[in-house]
């Protein structure tokens, strides 16, 4: 979408909002930083006013400053100031009597002068509606592992034109007090209307008559949207991936560059265009979809009515009955045969649907399950489901109450907390924490900057963003081809491929490819990327292969196609996904690869119902991937920098052999003969794995891959995504969080629970140190891939043989543990560079080996 359209729609929105808000004179917003002495601006540029002039009386309250600044606070305003209430006290706001209002409360449970936030239990009542009761911001923050808490409410109009917001310390706890850091009271358009109740015929709930708390607001398949980027209502939208349940997480997609999203019936303020331009659907395999649900699970308070709002905008389909699905809430059908195009009238038009459901108090019933499944009986063209955005609102109960109980922290969290008490007062230990925190905050800031840059890139170069999700060359079963390339004499006349490439790589006829894929049957599609589609296919009667077919309109032209063949055909290694051959006929550009039966490494780590991998297997996979990368860096004539190392680009064959895939972004690095030590380039790669130095200086070295591989190592150890924007800020980036824990000696608390007690301490130490070194801020401080490989081999030895020095059965793997003296001939064997499939270059290997004998930085 171009800036003009954007600016234009923004103008429309402004004039619309101006209309809404001019209906009444008295529609003022209040954005207050409580306990501040003057108005100030937060890190997003919003201005926060002082609160004192709205207090009914300044008795019973004192302004105070937090004594400790948690590094994960997004901004000092409004969190570092607070107003403390030692007894009941109220604010009064004059508001429009006809409008609904957002009330947002910001809490930072810290210690304020001599008061300890653990003692703060209090209620908040707004115009007679209990928003919070016996509320402990401290317990809530601990349970959610967040430093601060924001609660958003949408309150019905106050006919008197006065909104009283009352804070009252609990009388059930001695020494209790109340506090508040920030208050927003903002007029809003009416967003609610009657919604059908799931499980009852014809019953409607009119949310318009209720006061409402926002529980979740998600940009499904998309990214975090800051309040300043909402469509005028200062809402925050989060990524949905943390709430996905099970292994069927579907696929996300972005609107094509040429697709304009047109708001018709749906007003633009309902949700910003960023919500509608990204989506999650089930994926391209109909047989899989027909037997699976796309499911999200949310924690909610029991004994309340909820309204669940689904935002849809079909970015692919244009006709009715192409994609038809059922929607379930808590295992009951909320909507049968949802057809977004039917509702919207066409593709690219936003619509939303509300359903209400009551969540009861049965044991374990404090969850809300949202699931989608293709309506097979309606015989749609595609067995698929779709979602662009999701909001979950809690409605007041019949007594006008909205308050739920304090959450209960998980036992694991309690244990972790007991071991590493969080310091409030600036003692020696918290000073230490603060120093580490400062560093984490700096990196966190960089992460935020990166998200923005990444988002911009995503908008600007949609194609590119697609590409990084490219090439899952895997599927259900069957054997992999042993890349037995036959040499074909009939290379096409038009081809500009070198004779070397032609001789290393098999040429397929289009007829063979068509036969192998059932004439490109859609049911054979196993992946889709910016380049085109990937099909599962069969050649030579029974050899399974992955067939990548360029989309004729793809940006990737003949030149890139031939570059890929040139490059890949020369790269043969047991730990690289092999290019078996290609087909260049009738304007088709087709590549044929190894078929990887066990899929990506990631799908064996988390959000999966596959069996957890043993630690030994994980180590072996890491070692295999490290070998592949080491080969790329040093084994070929030129240094090849992968540029997109991540767990979805490490594939597994049916024997659990790890192979590095997707050289789509690869870049040939500096020739070792030249003095230039980096390649200058536009930043590409996947966020969360991106080398900070590469990002800062736009300079690519093989150490950028080492950094990404360090993230992969922690991902394997902790079984969580590299980036999880829904977590508290300090934990969003796995790299930052793992380094932080490693520095504090608490890494063990964040490792995959499946691995608890199964890693020998020596092995864990070696592995973590290796990963940590990979994540060094400066490339020069990071080990080479050869060193990483050496250390991982060592870690494996320490796992199998923790006492060290004792030699293994396998004599080749004998190591002189505990000493840095190494024996070259041993490493030549263990590094596996002399593989049968390895077109290796001995001279560059010996360079690596000389690095190994001279192990600096270990």
Ligand X SMILES: *[C@@H]1O[C@H](CO)[C@@H](O)[C@H](O)[C@H]1NC(C)=O
Q: Which is nearer to ligand X, 304 or 694 (CB)?
A: 304
**850 lies in the site for ligand X, by CB under 6 A:** no
**Among 70, 644, 662, 705, the one annotated catalytic:** 644
Q: Which is nearer to ligand X, 18 or 418 (CB)?
A: 418
- CB 625 → ligand X: shortest distance, Å? 27
- The verdict on whether 51 is a catalytic residue reads no
- CB 501 → ligand X: shortest distance, Å? 27
Kind of pairing between the strands at 61-65 and 115-116: unpaired
Q: Which is nearer to ligand X, 82 or 576 (CB)?
A: 82
- CB 761 → ligand X: shortest distance, Å? 29
Is the sign of the CA dihedral 375, 379, 385, 386 positive or negative?
Answer: negative
- CB 814 → ligand X: shortest distance, Å? 7
**453 lies in the site for ligand X, by CB under 6 A:** no
Q: Which is nearer to ligand X, 95 or 601 (CB)?
A: 95
b/e for 318-330, b at 16 or more Cβ within 10 A? eebbbbbbbbbbb
DSSP 118-164: GG--EEEEETTEEEEEEE-HHHHHHHTT-S-EEEEEEEPP-TTSEEE
Measured between alpha carbons, how far is residue 164 from residues 55, 181, 184, 782 in Å?
Answer: 10, 17, 13, 58
Window of 116-124, 262-270, 384-392, 539-547 that interacts with ligand X by CB under 6 A: 116-124
- Burial class from Cβ neighbours inside 10 Å (0-12, 13-18, 19+) for residue 736 reads buried
305: DSSP letter: E
**76 lies in the site for ligand X, by CB under 6 A:** no
Coil vs helix vs strand at 805: coil
* Whole-angstrom distance, CA of residue 575 vs CA of residue 660: 6
**400 lies in the site for ligand X, by CB under 6 A:** yes
Measured between alpha carbons, how far is residue 147 from residues 64, 71, 199, 214, 731 in Å?
Answer: 18, 9, 39, 19, 11
**395 lies in the site for ligand X, by CB under 6 A:** yes
- CB 178 → ligand X: shortest distance, Å? 14
**176 lies in the site for ligand X, by CB under 6 A:** no
Q: Which is nearer to ligand X, 487 or 824 (CB)?
A: 824
**204 lies in the site for ligand X, by CB under 6 A:** no
- CB 765 → ligand X: shortest distance, Å? 26
DSSP 388-433: SEEEEEEEP-TTSB---PPPPPPHHHHHHHHHSPPP-S--HHHHHH
Window of 291-299, 607-615, 654-662, 720-728 that interacts with ligand X by CB under 6 A: 291-299
Tokens of 200: 């009852």
Q: Contacts with ligand X in 774-813 (CB under 6 A)?
A: none
Q: Contacts with ligand X in 123-162 (CB under 6 A)?
A: 134, 136, 139
Is 253 in contact with 259 (CB distance < 8 Å)?
A: no
Q: What is the dihedral of CA 615, 617, 622, 624, to 10 degrees?
A: 160
Q: Which is nearer to ligand X, 85 or 593 (CB)?
A: 85
- CB 40 → ligand X: shortest distance, Å? 6
Measured at the alpha carbon of residue 617, what is the angle toward residues 616 and 618, in degrees to the nearest 5? 90
- Burial class from Cβ neighbours inside 10 Å (0-12, 13-18, 19+) for residue 821 reads exposed
Q: Which is nearer to ligand X, 189 or 246 (CB)?
A: 246
- CB within 8 Å of 363: residues ≥ 6 apart: none
- Burial class from Cβ neighbours inside 10 Å (0-12, 13-18, 19+) for residue 812 reads exposed
Q: Contacts with ligand X in 242-281 (CB under 6 A)?
A: 256, 258-259
Among the listed residues 262, 340, 387, the one whose alpha carbon sits nearest the alpha carbon of residue 8: 262
- CB 116 → ligand X: shortest distance, Å? 4
Half-sphere exposure of 817 (CA within 13 A, CB side): 22
The 3-state secondary structure of 262-287, one letter per residue: CCCCCCHHHCCHHHHCEEEECCCCHH
Is the sign of the CA dihedral 11, 17, 22, 28 positive or negative?
Answer: negative
**553 lies in the site for ligand X, by CB under 6 A:** yes
Coil vs helix vs strand at 506: strand
Tokens of 634: 């040093």
- CB 488 → ligand X: shortest distance, Å? 32
**49 lies in the site for ligand X, by CB under 6 A:** no
Q: Which is nearer to ligand X, 121 or 707 (CB)?
A: 121
Q: Which is nearer to ligand X, 371 or 711 (CB)?
A: 371
Q: Contacts with ligand X in 9-38 (CB under 6 A)?
A: 37-38
Q: What is the dihedral of CA 425, 430, 435, 438, to 10 degrees?
A: -60
Site string (660-699) toward ligand X, x via CB under 6 A: -------------xxx------------------------
Out of 27, 52, 75, 118, the residue judged to bind ligand X by CB under 6 A: 118
Q: Which is nearer to ligand X, 391 or 772 (CB)?
A: 391
**373 lies in the site for ligand X, by CB under 6 A:** yes
Coil vs helix vs strand at 606: coil
Question: What is the number of residues in the chain?
Answer: 858
**4 lies in the site for ligand X, by CB under 6 A:** no
Q: Which is nearer to ligand X, 117 or 652 (CB)?
A: 117
CB atoms within 10 A of CB 725: 18
**456 lies in the site for ligand X, by CB under 6 A:** yes
* Whole-angstrom distance, CA of residue 654 vs CA of residue 114: 62
Is the sign of the CA dihedral 226, 230, 235, 241 positive or negative?
Answer: negative
Site string (206-245) toward ligand X, x via CB under 6 A: ---xx---------------x-xx----------------
**172 lies in the site for ligand X, by CB under 6 A:** yes
Q: Which is nearer to ligand X, 398 or 843 (CB)?
A: 398
Is 646 in contact with 662 (CB distance < 8 Å)?
A: no
**44 lies in the site for ligand X, by CB under 6 A:** yes
Measured at the alpha carbon of residue 218, what is the angle toward residues 212 and 224, in degrees to the nearest 5? 125
Out of 83, 455, 507, 766, the residue judged to bind ligand X by CB under 6 A: 455
Is 307 in contact with 205 (CB distance < 8 Å)?
A: yes
Count of residues that bind ligand X according to CB under 6 A: 49
**360 lies in the site for ligand X, by CB under 6 A:** no
The 3-state secondary structure of 702-714, one letter per residue: HHHHHHHHHHHHH
* Whole-angstrom distance, CA of residue 187 vs CA of residue 840: 68
**378 lies in the site for ligand X, by CB under 6 A:** no
**369 lies in the site for ligand X, by CB under 6 A:** yes
- CB 206 → ligand X: shortest distance, Å? 8
- CB 233 → ligand X: shortest distance, Å? 15
Coil vs helix vs strand at 335: strand
Site string (315-334) toward ligand X, x via CB under 6 A: -------------x-xx---
- CB 693 → ligand X: shortest distance, Å? 22
Out of 120, 305, 683, 796, the residue judged to bind ligand X by CB under 6 A: 305
Going by the annotation, the residues of the binding site for ATP are 548
Out of 29, 86, 94, 116, the residue judged to bind ligand X by CB under 6 A: 116
Window of 452-460, 578-586, 605-613, 654-662 that interacts with ligand X by CB under 6 A: 452-460
**723 lies in the site for ligand X, by CB under 6 A:** no
**593 lies in the site for ligand X, by CB under 6 A:** no
- Catalytic residue numbers read 644
Binding positions for ligand X, rule: CB under 6 A: 37-38, 40, 44, 111, 116, 118, 121, 134, 136, 139, 172, 209-210, 226, 228-229, 256, 258-259, 291-293, 305, 328, 330-331, 367, 369, 371, 373, 395-398, 400, 406, 424-425, 452, 455-456, 553, 673-675, 823, 825-826
């Amino acid at each position: 979408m171009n800036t003009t359209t954007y600016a234009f729609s923004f103008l429309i929105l402004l004039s619309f909002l101006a209309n809404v808000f001019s209906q009444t004179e008295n529609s003022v917003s209040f954005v207050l930083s409580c306990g501040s002495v003057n108005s100030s601006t937060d890190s997003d540029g919003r201005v926060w006013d002082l609160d004192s002039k709205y207090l009914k009386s300044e008795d019973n309250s004192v302004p105070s400053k937090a004594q400790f600044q948690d590094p994960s606070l997004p901004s000092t305003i409004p969190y570092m100031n607070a107003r403390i209430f030692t007894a009941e006290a109220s604010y009064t706001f004059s508001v429009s009597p006809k409008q609904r209002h957002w009330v947002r409360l910001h809490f930072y449970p810290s210690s304020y002068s001599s008061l300890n936030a653990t003692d703060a239990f209090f209620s908040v009542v707004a115009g007679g509606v209990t928003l919070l009761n016996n509320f402990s911001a401290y317990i809530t923050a601990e349970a959610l592992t967040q430093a601060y808490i924001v609660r958003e409410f949408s309150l019905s109009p106050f006919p008197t034109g006065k909104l009283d917001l009352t804070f009252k310390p609990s009388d059930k706890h001695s020494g209790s007090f109340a506090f508040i850091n920030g208050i927003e009271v903002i007029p809003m358009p009416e967003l609610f209307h009657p919604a059908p109740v799931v499980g009852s015929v014809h019953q409607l709930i009119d949310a318009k008559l209720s006061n409402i708390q926002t529980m979740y607001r998600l940009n499904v398949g998309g990214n975090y949207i800051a309040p300043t980027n909402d469509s005028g209502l200062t809402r925050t939208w989060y990524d949905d991936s943390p709430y996905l349940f099970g292994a069927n997480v579907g696929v996300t997609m972005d609107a094509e560059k040429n697709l304009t999203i047109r708001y018709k019936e749906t007003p633009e303020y309902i949700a910003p265009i960023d919500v509608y331009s990204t989506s999650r659907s089930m994926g391209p395999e109909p047989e899989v979809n027909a037997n699976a649900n796309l499911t999200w699970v949310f924690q909610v308070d029991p004994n309340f009515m909820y309204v669940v709002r689904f935002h849809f905008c079909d970015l692919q389909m244009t006709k009715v009955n192409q994609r038809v699905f059922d929607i379930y809430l808590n295992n009951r059908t909320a909507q049968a045969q949802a057809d977004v195009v039917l509702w919207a009238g066409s593709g690219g038009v936003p619509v939303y649907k509300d359903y209400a459901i009551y969540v009861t108090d049965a044991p374990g019933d404090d969850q809300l399950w949202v699931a989608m499944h293709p309506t097979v009986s309606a015989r749609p063209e595609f067995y698929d489901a779709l979602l662009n955005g999701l909001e979950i609102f809690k409605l007041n109960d019949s007594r006008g109450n909205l308050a739920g109980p304090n959450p209960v922290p998980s036992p694991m969290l309690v244990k972790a907390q007991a071991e590493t008490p969080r310091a409030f007062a600036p003692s020696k230990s918290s000073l230490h924490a603060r120093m580490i925190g400062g560093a984490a905050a700096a990196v966190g800031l960089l992460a935020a900057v990166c998200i923005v840059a990444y988002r911009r890139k995503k908008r600007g170069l949609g194609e590119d963003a697609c590409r990084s999700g490219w090439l899952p060359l895997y599927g259900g079963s069957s054997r992999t081809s042993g890349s037995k390339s036959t040499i074909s004499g009939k290379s096409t006349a038009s081809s500009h491929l070198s004779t070397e490439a032609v001789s290393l790589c098999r040429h397929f006829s289009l007829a063979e490819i068509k036969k192998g894929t059932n004439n490109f049957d859609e049911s054979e599609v196993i992946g889709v990327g910016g380049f085109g589609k990937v099909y599962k296919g069969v050649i030579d009667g029974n050899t399974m292969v992955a067939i990548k077919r360029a989309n004729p309109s793809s940006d990737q032209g003949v030149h890139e196609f031939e570059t890929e063949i040139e490059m890949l055909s020369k790269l043969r290694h047991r730990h690289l996904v092999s290019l078996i051959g290609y087909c260049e006929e009738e304007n088709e550009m087709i590549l044929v690869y190894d078929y990887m039966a066990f899929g990506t490494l990631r799908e064996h780590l988390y959000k999966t119902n596959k069996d957890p991998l043993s630690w030994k297997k994980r180590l072996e996979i890491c070692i295999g991937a490290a070998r592949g990368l080491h080969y790329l860096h040093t084994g070929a004539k030129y240094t090849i920098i992968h540029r997109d190392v991540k767990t979805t680009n490490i594939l597994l064959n049916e024997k659990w052999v790890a192979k590095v895939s997707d050289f789509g972004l690869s870049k040939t690095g500096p020739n070792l003969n030249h003095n230039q030590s980096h390649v200058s380039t536009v930043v590409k790669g996947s966020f969360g794995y991106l080398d900070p130095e590469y990002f800062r200086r736009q300079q690519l070295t093989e150490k950028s891959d080492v950094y990404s591989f360090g993230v992969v190592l922690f991902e394997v150890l902790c079984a969580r995504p590299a980036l999880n924007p829904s977590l508290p800020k300090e934990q969003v980036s796995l790299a930052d969080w793992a380094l932080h824990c490693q520095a504090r000696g608490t890494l063990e608390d964040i490792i995959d629970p499946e691995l608890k007690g199964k890693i020998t301490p020596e092995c864990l130490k070696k592995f973590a140190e290796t990963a940590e070194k990979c994540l060094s801020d400066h490339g020069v401080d990071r080990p080479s891939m050869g060193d990483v490989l050496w250390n991982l081999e060592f870690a494996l030895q320490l796992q199998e043989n923790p006492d060290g020095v004792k030699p293994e059965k396998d004599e080749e793997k004998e190591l002189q543990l505990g000493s840095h003296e190494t024996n070259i001939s041993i490493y030549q064997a263990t590094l596996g560079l002399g593989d049968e499939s390895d077109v290796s270059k001995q001279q560059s290997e010996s360079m690596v080996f000389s690095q190994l004998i001279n192990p600096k930085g270990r």
